[in-house]
Each structure stands twice: as C-alpha cells, then as structure tokens.
Amino acid sequence: MFGLKPDLCSVPMPETHYGVDDYAKSTARWCPGCGGHSILSSVQKICKEKQYVPEKTVFVSGIGCSSRFPHYMGTYGFHGLHGRAFPVASGIKFRRPDLNVFVITGDGDCCSIGAGHWVHAVRYNMKMVVLLFDNSIYGLTKKQTSPTSAIGTVSNTHPKGSVLPPINPIQTTLGISNASFVAQTTDWNPAHMYATIRKAADHPGFAFVRIVQRCPIFMKDLYADKAADPDSVILLSHENGINLDPAIAKTFKRVIEHDPSDIHKAREYAELRDGIPVGLFYQNTENPCYDDYGAHNLGMTVAEKTQALEELLDKYMN
C-alpha cells in the first residue's frame, strides 16, 4: 500500500541550471519576417526563467507553418495532425501531471478543422499553455482564406475577396463554459508578448493566448501600418492583469482599466473594433480542472491492482 509508486515519475529537482540554449534545437525554417521567430525566442526565454526541465516539457502542435514550432525546441515535441493538437496534449497531460504541456496551433488548425476540440479543450481546463498563432491566413498551404480572415480578404480560394465575417477567437473562447484564462497579444510587441505568455505559464489551468501574427509573405499589408502605429492597439491594464514594465506600459497610447475577473466586461472589450485590444481579458483560478480527475488514482501497485481485479472476477464466478 505504501510501497513505491512507480508511475508518479517523481524526478528529484535538478541541480542543473538550464540556459536558453537548452531549449533550442535546429534553426527555425520560417520565412524571414515571420512572427514565429519572435514568439519562439519569447517562449525559450520563459522556459529558462521557469527553469522547466527540458525532458519534462512537451510542445504539441497540429499542422501548419506555426505547428513546426516543436521542431525548434530542445524539449520533447509532438507534431501531429492538422487540427488535433488539443486531444493529444490533453491525453499527454491526463496521466502525466508531471509534464509541462504547451500547445502551438494556427488559426486554421484551431478555429477551423480543430474547432470542436478547441471548444472541449477549453472546457476540460487542463493545465497547459495554448499559443494561437493567428496570421488570419492559411500559410503552409499557400494563402487560402482562414476562419479569422477579415471579410473581403483576397486569397487563392476567394480571389474576389472572402464573403463571411471572421470568427473572433477571444470572444469564442470567452463563450465556452469553464474558460479560465484568455489573453491577447501581438508579435510586434515582444515585451508585451513575453509578459503575456509568462502570465499564461503561471496559470493553474488552460491558458489561451491569441497572438496576432504577421505573415510577411501572404498578408504583407494586414498589419504593416498597425505595427508601426502605437494607436492601433488598446492596452487592457489592471493590477491582476499582465505584468508590464512601467516603461513599456507607457508606450501604449490607449489604455483601458479592465479587471480580468469581470467576464462581462471581457466580452464587451473582445468586441472592440477600432483597435486591437491586448492584455488579459479573463482569468479564473477556481474552475475545475479535468487533469485533477485524470490523476486522482495514479500510482496503484501491481499487487493492489491484482487484488482488486480478483475481487471483481469473484462477482462473475459461477
């Protein structure tokens, strides 16, 4: 009963100190100017700060340019199927609470083919950081309309412009029951992006971060002026929000004070159209986490299992 619990995988805290290089692998093969590069360095920096043990960390992705991300990390990685990163990541975490799990997904991956899993993953609220690389286009397959493309987007599937309004990933996530952390940032403000992902990594549940991302090849003009114009973003600021260096915070011209425990205001601000709201929309650390259920009966010994099974078989005896 009190014997060795082999599957708890408790490895003693390492004495090693990990540097940024410990989280890097091969050179990223994204296009020059792709937002992916700056996200990658932010994430590696956070891994270092959190001193995640590389072998205890798994980056799970789907398929897309963004989903190549795990190949560039020095941790374990799972580059799986288009749209299916969430179930895989949830399955990894379910019986391995000792692993740090990240999900890297694209706007097509998450909001189109994987939309069903997205809804349920939010509801499972398992501890993992989710980074939605939203470039409003299908990158890897060369410029098709994405569910987050603005209406009128000219693409190879809609040469005359797309005809439907886009999904709002923040509003959608806020609408799913048991949502517990919803934040937004942009790839052209590395300091804000870093602070946002950092906050997500500290969250004890499913931390959803949409990163508004530039695609210099297929959506060259989409954020070109926005990235240069400080008026194009609106900072959601609060003492319980994203921790920004005051010097950085000062660079934002438009600021709204928003308490991230207020889901109604969060939903209101998710609809802001005259600028890109960035910051923490909503956080709730009290929501039930499905991984607690998943781990509740870990560590039974073979002797315990055998005894329980023999007792069950007794009930089926002749």
Partner 1 sequence: MENQIIEPSGLRPMGTRKNSKVVDQTVVEIVSDSGEGAQKCGQSLGSISAKMGNGVWTVEIIPAEIQPPARSREGASGIRVRIGSKKVTNMGNHANLVVALNEQVLYGRLAQDAYKEGTVLLIENKWANHELEHIRNQYAEAITEFKAQGLDVREIPMETECLKLVRDAQKGKNMWVLGMLCGIYGRDMERAEEQVRGIFRKKSEKIISSNLELLSAGYDWALNNLEFNYEIPAMKLDVDQVVMNGNEAMSFGTMAAGIELCSMYPITPATSVSHHLAENFEKVGGIVHQAEDEIAAIGFAIGASYAGKTALTVTSGPGLALKTEFIGLAVMAEIPLVIINVQRGGPSTGLPTKVEQSDMLAAIYGETGDAPKIVFAAATIEECFHFVILARKLAETFRTPVMLLSDTNLATGVQPFPRPKINSEWFASPIDQSAWKEGVGAFQWSAETGISKRPIPGQKGGMYTLTGLAHDEKSRVAYDPDINQRSAEHRSRKMAAFQQTLKRPAINGDAEGDLLLVGWGSTLGAIEEAVAKAQEEGLKVSSIHLRFLLPLEPGLKDIFSRFKKVVTVELNYSDKVGDPMITSENRRYSQLAWYLRAHTLTDVDCFSNVFGQPMSPAKVLQFIQNEVKK
Ligand X SMILES: Cc1ncc(C[n+]2csc(CCOP(=O)(O)OP(=O)(O)O)c2C)c(N)n1
**287 belongs to the binding site for ligand X (CB under 6 A):** no
Least CB distance from residue 160 to ligand X, whole Å?
A: 21
The Cα–Cα gap between 27 and 311 comes to 56
**88 belongs to the binding site for partner 1 (CB under 8 A):** yes
Amino acid making up residue 107: D
**107 belongs to the binding site for ligand X (CB under 6 A):** yes
The Cα–Cα gap between 183 and 132 comes to 10
Least CB distance from residue 215 to partner 1, whole Å?
A: 21
Count of positions (residues) in the chain? 318
Residues 6+ apart with CB under 8 A from 150: 136, 162, 166
Q: What are phi and psi of 136, to 5 degrees?
A: 60, 25
Which residues are registered as beta bridge partners of 134?
212
Under the phi-then-psi rule, with left for phi > 0, alpha for psi from -120 to 50, and beta for the rest, what region is 249? alpha
State the alpha helices, DSSP H only, in 71-160: 85-94, 107-108, 115-124
The piece of 76-84, 130-138, 272-280, 287-295 that touches Mg ion (CB under 5 A) is: 130-138
Amino acid making up residue 45: K
Identify each DSSP E strand in 9-150 by its residue range: 57-61, 76-79, 100-106, 128-134, 137-138, 144-145
For ligand X, the closer of residues 130 and 244 by Cβ is 130
Site for partner 1 in 257-296 (CB under 8 A): 293-294
For partner 1, the closer of residues 98 and 262 by Cβ is 98
Contact letters (x/-) for partner 1, 2-41, by CB under 8 A? Answer: ----xx-x-x-------------xx---------------
Site for ligand X in 144-163 (CB under 6 A): 146
Q: Which two tokens stand for residue 84?
A: 């299916």
For partner 1, the closer of residues 53 and 212 by Cβ is 53
**9 belongs to the binding site for ligand X (CB under 6 A):** no
Query: Using CB under 5 A, which of 77, 107, 212, 258 touches Mg ion?
Result: 107
Residues 6+ apart with CB under 8 A from 146: 107, 108, 111, 112, 135, 136, 137, 138
**90 belongs to the binding site for partner 1 (CB under 8 A):** yes
**124 belongs to the binding site for ligand X (CB under 6 A):** no
Q: Give the residues lining the site for Mg ion (CB under 5 A).
A: 106-107, 135, 139
Residues within the interface to ligand X (CB under 6 A) = 63-66, 82, 106-109, 133, 135, 137-141, 146
Residues at the contact surface with partner 1, assessed by CB under 8 A? 6-7, 9, 11, 25-26, 54-56, 58-60, 70-71, 73-81, 84, 86-96, 98-99, 116-117, 119-120, 293-294, 297-300, 302-306, 308-310, 312-313, 316-318
